[in-house]
Homo-oligomer: A and B are copies of this chain.
């Protein structure tokens, strides 16, 4: 049996070098950046194929038109080229220069149109005249371009030629899925959205970290199973939920990962229920991680936690990011580029993810097998022999674990009450279990 020879997450965490992993993650971001992704189409498929070089994920496919919950899988959108030209053929805007230039799911068009009509189809950011905004219209049956506002102000000619050479036709929705099997069927969901085109923080940062984490975990001896999803936002999560109700029932924890490469502190958004073990574990890890962080309550607006936390599922899924969508100026603009994310920030986020996984793995409940009075720890070599002085922290952890292990308190509960980091409490529990003073009361 291989388990004895595999490393635990705790052992792994102590040897992983965040700076090295940060550089690897940055490399993945850089490689995926040029690809034009949307909720369907060749870009997502190509991105998932590149991720298969890191971890052997499965590329799932769901045919256009398939009903999924209240939705239907839309037609597949693909784009070859797109531009705006002056009538004398000078190209003002070209999709080849930046894939944000075209509103996602734009319908094809090739036409000379008056300036006024063109303007109605342009999106720009007056407050950031050099940036290109990111806009989509999956169900809008329209077309549009996103351009720097500086350009809009130069459009003075009466007519322009526009071309969007796109197809919207039956095809498929794709998403990536990878399951790391642990010793139990109880699952942890790690989900990130893969539908955004050339935007680095949102969400190549999370895609890269999820892939590297999946690879790392696949080599470990784990108690829980870990399911990684690389899904197009909303429709992808809905498609997975529609087809995986049995996996849903095995879910013990879950995280939606987004925006993990910028310079901001960490943000944890609680699940709908607000105080699930997932929420409490992540908050405990953040509180002891020594980095700036904030925690916010659930709202039904955001990323795919909207779907996982819809009332019919109500899963223990929170969202982890650094800065939050809509709260940094570069959000959903061309400024969310390769300069905006750093290997340092990615490496720090990876280190935090390992701590969270370690917390998921170690949080169990135990019974004190000698609950009446304190067991004599000195006799067992667990306690200093000389009385009359104060006790060290690891001795306090032993006392806390014994005192609270009545089957009603998890190691997390104990760590919170004792104000000790979970790993210290977990180490104490391991010692006591070895001495037959403690037995787990869950699996």
Q: Does A332 contact B (CB under 8 A)?
A: yes
Q: Known: A368-B311, A373-B69, A373-B313. Contact between A385 and B140, CB under 8 A? A: yes
Q: B139 touching A379 by the CB < 8 A rule? A: yes
Q: Which of A242, A314, A389 has the most CB of B within 10 A?
A: A389
Q: A310 touching B387 by the CB < 8 A rule? A: no
Q: Does A293 contact B (CB under 8 A)?
A: no
Q: Does A340 contact B (CB under 8 A)?
A: no
Give the residue name and chain of the B residue nearest to A437 (CB).
B70
A386 to B140, CA, bound (A): 7
A140: B residues at CB distance < 8 A? 385-386
Chain A 308-327: CB-based contact to B (< 8 A → 1; otherwise 0): 01111110000000000010
Give the residue name and chain of the B residue nearest to A71 (CB).
B376
A88: B residues at CB distance < 8 A? none
Q: Known: A300-B403, A309-B403, A391-B301. Contact between A376 and B137, CB under 8 A? A: no
Q: How close is A158's CB to chain B, nearest CB, in angstroms?
A: 27
CB-contact partner of A136 in B237, B307, B387, under 8 A: B387
Q: Does A388 contact B (CB under 8 A)?
A: yes
A37: B residues at CB distance < 8 A? none
The segment out of A28-36, A205-213, A280-288, A394-402 that lies at the interface is A394-402
Q: A312 touching B139 by the CB < 8 A rule? A: no
A406 to B300, CA, bound (A): 14
Q: Which of A70, A103, A142, A400 has the most CB of B within 10 A?
A: A70
A372: B residues at CB distance < 8 A? 69, 241-242, 310, 312-313
Q: How close is A37's CB to chain B, nearest CB, in angstroms?
A: 14
A404 to B311, CA, bound (A): 7
Q: Known: A313-B373, A373-B241. Contact between A388 and B234, CB under 8 A? A: no
A133 to B138, CA, bound (A): 75
Q: B405 touching A311 by the CB < 8 A rule? A: yes
Chain A 373-391: CB-based contact to B (< 8 A → 1; otherwise 0): 1111011000001111111
Q: Known: A135-B389, A140-B386, A234-B374. Contact between A272 and B403, CB under 8 A? A: yes
Chain A interface residue number, banded: 35 or more
A238 to B375, CA, bound (A): 10
A311: B residues at CB distance < 8 A? 368, 371, 402-406
Q: A373 touching B326 by the CB < 8 A rule? A: no
A309: B residues at CB distance < 8 A? 403
Q: How close is A283's CB to chain B, nearest CB, in angstroms?
A: 19
CB-contact partner of A373 in B307, B386, B399, under 8 A: B307
- 19 residue pairs A–B, Cβ–Cβ below 8 Å: A70-B370, A70-B374, A71-B373, A136-B387, A139-B378, A139-B379, A142-B385, A234-B374, A238-B373, A241-B373, A242-B373, A300-B399, A300-B403, A301-B391, A301-B396, A310-B371, A310-B374, A311-B402, A312-B368
A-B complex: 3 closest residue pairs judged by Cβ atoms: A312-B371, A312-B372, A300-B403
Q: Supply 6 further A-B pairs (C-beta < 8 A) apart from A104-B387, A137-B387, A241-B372.
A: A71-B373, A136-B388, A300-B400, A300-B404, A301-B391, A311-B406
